[in-house]
Amino acid sequence: MKAQKEESAQRCLRLIMSKYIDRAALFNSLSNAKTVEEIFAAIQAAPAEDVEPVKRGRWDNWFCSVCGAEALTEWNDTGGEYAFTKFCPNCGAKMEDW
């Protein structure tokens, strides 16, 4: 019985982790579920968010560490000088230490 519960929990976790699910909508649908099958059905029917993983990189000698594109600069009004952009214009990577 314990192995079956653990297997069910792992199956739920795989379903949830395979897509980004709206937590509030999932909790609302789970509040009416009474069996394991109803729980699985509620998870599979939960609306998924349309998201992408964030790419993270840094400007390394004027080049993006993710895709190798040349860095762009923008005018910094407060400092009165040019500064690296916060995102790579080629791949969209968020620059951590620009």
Q: Are residues 31 and 62 in the same domain?
A: no
Residue 35 lies in a domain: yes
pLDDT at 98: 47
Residue 74 lies in a domain: yes
Higher pLDDT, 35 or 76: 35
Q: How many domains does the chain have?
A: 2
pTM value is 0.47
Instruction: Tell me how far apart the alpha carbons of residues 71 and 82 are, in angstroms, rounded to a whole number.
Output: 12
Q: Are residues 10 and 41 in the same domain?
A: yes
Residue 36 has pLDDT above 60, yes or no: yes
Residue 6 has pLDDT above 80, yes or no: no
- Domain residues for the domain of 63 are 56-95
Q: Are residues 63 and 37 in the same domain?
A: no
